Amino acid sequence: MTTIPGPVLILGLPLTMAVLLQLLRRWTTVTAWLAAVTSVVLGTAVISLPLTQTWQLGQWQIRLGAPLWVLGREVVLQPVDRLPVTFLFFTAAGIFILAWRLLPHSNFFPIGLATTALLVGALLVTQVVYAALLVEIAAILAVFPLHEGSKQAKGGLRFMTYTSLALPGLMVTQLLLDLYAIFPNDRGLLSTSAVLLSLSFAILLGAFPFQNWLSAVTDDGSPPVVTYIFTMNLGVVWFMLLAYLQSYTWLSEQAALGSVFNILGLLMMGLGGLLAASQQRLGRLVGYATLVDNGAMLLALGTQRIGGIALAGIMLISRPLALGLMTVGLAGLRRLSAGDDDRETLRGAVWRAPWRTAAFLVGGIALAGFPLSLGFTARWGLYRLIAEQSLFEAAFALLSSAGVMLGLISAMRALLAPPPVDKQGRVLGLALKEDLIVVLLIVVLIGATFTLSIFPQGISRVALEMASGYTFFAP
Amino acid sequence: MSPFVLWLSRLSAFASMPAVWGIFFAGAVIYLIAGWRVRLLALIVQFFFIGILYAHLFADRPEIALLKLIVGWLVCGALYLSARMREEAIPQERRFSWAADVPFRALTLAVLGFSAYIASQRYILPFVSADLAVACFLLGALALLFIGTEEDTVVVGVGILNLLAALDLFYSSQDPGLLVTGFLVVVNLLVGLAISYLTVIEVAE
């Protein structure tokens, strides 16, 4: 009996299911749940099954930790990848359920499942060049559901363009590393690699001055797909960055690394906070809040402590909840005004769509990292950690988060204002006919946000365990 | 070996440098002329010249060059269909017109092209022949120009395709492995489809 390596199952099953889901696209409930169940099953398998033991599935023997060789290239699930891969599968499952009632007959479910496989593949493959190519393919595929039913296509185009711009840096890095293996005395190759890797990751994470794609995607993209891109695609980029810092010790030993992360993180937070505070469009507000969150994660990494990585992990885990709420809210609010998400157009929206308004605001507060949200736990920890090194940086980071909150308060003032009425005193515009399941999902997400903010220990433990796999910083 | 592959292979032996400049001039046509028919024709020609360079690069495996050429032309086919759909939705009065701000565009193009050529002479790319190095720099410059200064979905998409072609030529010179080549073919095809899709949805009912 032959043993099947784990990656065949982890990558093959979602890709096969994606083909099946494409055929079943007419039945949204079936496709959404099949996609979610597939992701949950794989996530559970990855986290619960031992890597080294062989287990029997019918007539097949599967060993999760066994490598798969594709034309001489190794694809393998390593212990350090287990939690990130589980996070990706569970997050994907959550987003599929969230999108179930929002995207009828959408190709998001098959494409999302295929993209999940590609993103997981990017973590399992050992060479930079293939990881980069898989991330690029995943980004291009995500463009298709992003603009389903939309009249604007700028967000997808920008996302694809920026991901493509990051590709050469990553691919050339691989070549330079191969050259370094032949000429180990040429340290210049490593310096060039460090610059190229930094540039590519800055583009992929939407760091300053490459932040423009984040707001473009939220401006005209389908909200659930935006959540997918900002949690899954950006999550994988984040894990890739950690993996490279772990694998290439010369990279983590660069003296300027901590300062680069600090400056970049502060710039992203400052710029995001400023733009969010002055933002009229709710969609763009989501983009700038994510920019601030990305900046906070880089700042956490800049502390060069394992605690910093754990804090960034909490931010990443809390992001799907916050963004999920925000985008469900945004999708409903846009329906009130035929796609327009200007806050003045949506004045008094709470009277017509109370659940969606609540979802948007609670999600926003969570993403801004303010109290009664899981994001607050991570941000507060971050401010304390930075304050030990520089009080100014901590205050600056806090003020930047306040910028997002300020943008949210402006949105809140418009959304919670008395509704516009006609001369007879009747409320203008129709109320949004809410789907009971969507309301239930909103309640569950709000409940989870509040509960996890009061009891964050479980998530903190997971994040700390995730961080303990990365040993490039001193404890 | 098919006659076309043989012919492409022979052509590449002596036409590499003209092909490099052919790529640049085809890019210039795309940048300076606004009519989609002319632009598409220029893109087809550009892919042909890139195919010649691939044939030069994969001298012992010309079928790979042919594959890349076919993929490029398939992308052109997808773009043609979407351009037709766009024209049906938004009829254009003139089939040929200069792009807006032609003098500025021509100047930018000349400066960037010249800079790319100088850069290719000054910075030697390891394991890349001289003509391919010029092609890489020129394609990179065209890509930056299209992406940085254009709003039109198709032209930005062509910019991405040019960037990928530059990367492909450079990377294949170092590591002509099948796996990366295959991945890049898939990426090219998907970028073409995505651009075509994005072009259509902007005018879809």
Q: What is the tens place of the pLDDT at every residue in A405-424?
A: 999 999 999 888 887 777 77
Residue B162 has pLDDT above 70, yes or no: yes
Q: Tens of pLDDT along B118-148?
A: 998 888 887 888 888 999 999 999 999 999 8
Per-residue pLDDT at B118: 92
Classified as helix, coil or strand, A253 is coil
Cα A210 to Cα A37: distance, rounded to the nearest angstrom: 36
Query: A37, A33, A12: which is closest to A24 by C-alpha?
Result: A33
Query: A290, A261, A235: which is closest to A401 by C-alpha?
Result: A290
Which chain B residues are within 8 Å of A168, Cβ to Cβ?
163, 166-167
Per-residue pLDDT at B117: 92
Read off the pLDDT band of B14 (50, 70, 90).
Answer: low
In the DSSP assignment, the letter for residue A419 is P
The one-letter code for the residue type at A179 is L
Per-residue pLDDT at B126: 79
* Cβ neighbours around A58 below 10 Å, total: 5
Taking residues B108-123, what's their average pLDDT?
A: 91
Taking residues A225-237, what's their average pLDDT?
A: 94
Per-residue pLDDT at A474: 61
Give me the residue from A160, A171, A179 closest to B160, CB to CB: A160
Å between A90 CA and nearest CA of chain B: 27
Per-residue pLDDT at B13: 63
Six token digits for residue A163? 């991901």
Per-residue pLDDT at B93: 63
Length of chain A: 475
Tokens 């299209």 map to which residue? B146
Cα B38 to Cα B61: distance, rounded to the nearest angstrom: 32
Cα A16 to Cα A195: distance, rounded to the nearest angstrom: 38
**Mean confidence (pLDDT) of chain A:** 89
Taking residues A436-454, what's their average pLDDT?
A: 91
Give me the residue from B171, B201, B202 closest to A171, CB to CB: B171
Read off the pLDDT band of B9 (50, 70, 90).
Answer: low
The one-letter code for the residue type at A122 is A
Per-residue pLDDT at A208: 79
Contact A151 B201 (CB under 8 A): yes
CB of A153 less than 8 A from some CB of B = yes
Which chain B residues are within 8 Å of A153, Cβ to Cβ?
153, 198-199, 201-202
Residue B101 has pLDDT above 60, yes or no: yes
What pairs with residue A73 in β-bridges?
A: A70
In the DSSP assignment, the letter for residue A79 is G
Report which of residues B57 and A115 the model is more confident about: A115
Per-residue pLDDT at A71: 81
Residue B8 has pLDDT above 70, yes or no: no
Taking residues A305-324, what's their average pLDDT?
A: 91
Per-residue pLDDT at A374: 81
Residue A475 has pLDDT above 60, yes or no: no
Per-residue pLDDT at B194: 94
Per-residue pLDDT at B42: 93
Å between B26 CA and nearest CA of chain A: 21
CB A161 within 8 A of CB A213: yes
Taking residues B50-59, what's their average pLDDT?
A: 86
Report which of residues A459 and A151 the model is more confident about: A459
DSSP assignment of A179-217? HHHH-TT-HHHHHHHHHHHHHHHHHHTT-TTSTHHHHHH
Strands A60-63 and A3-5: parallel
Read off the pLDDT band of A472 (50, 70, 90).
Answer: confident
Cα A305 to Cα B118: distance, rounded to the nearest angstrom: 45
Q: Which of B145, B180, B205 to mutate to test the interface with A (most CBs of A within 10 A)?
A: B180
Cis peptide before A209 (omega within 30 of 0): yes
Report which of residues A112 and A50 the model is more confident about: A112
Residue A52 has pLDDT above 90, yes or no: no
Angle between helices A187-204 and A154-182 (to 10 degrees): 160
Report which of residues A134 and A127 the model is more confident about: A134
Taking residues B105-109, what's their average pLDDT?
A: 92
Cα B177 to Cα A307: distance, rounded to the nearest angstrom: 41
Per-residue pLDDT at A377: 87
Residue B22 has pLDDT above 70, yes or no: yes
Taking residues A219-228, what's their average pLDDT?
A: 90
Read off the pLDDT band of A6 (50, 70, 90).
Answer: confident
Residues 6+ apart with CB under 8 A from A207: A201, A264, A267, A268, A294, A295, A298
Q: Tens of pLDDT along A346-395?
A: 888 888 889 999 999 999 999 998 887 888 888 999 999 999 888 999 99
For residue B152, give the chain A residue with the closest CA: A154
Residue A119 has pLDDT above 90, yes or no: yes
Report the share of chain A in percent with pLDDT over 90: 50
For residue B164, give the chain A residue with the closest CA: A164
Taking residues B30-54, what's their average pLDDT?
A: 90
Per-residue pLDDT at A67: 87
Å between B191 CA and nearest CA of chain A: 7
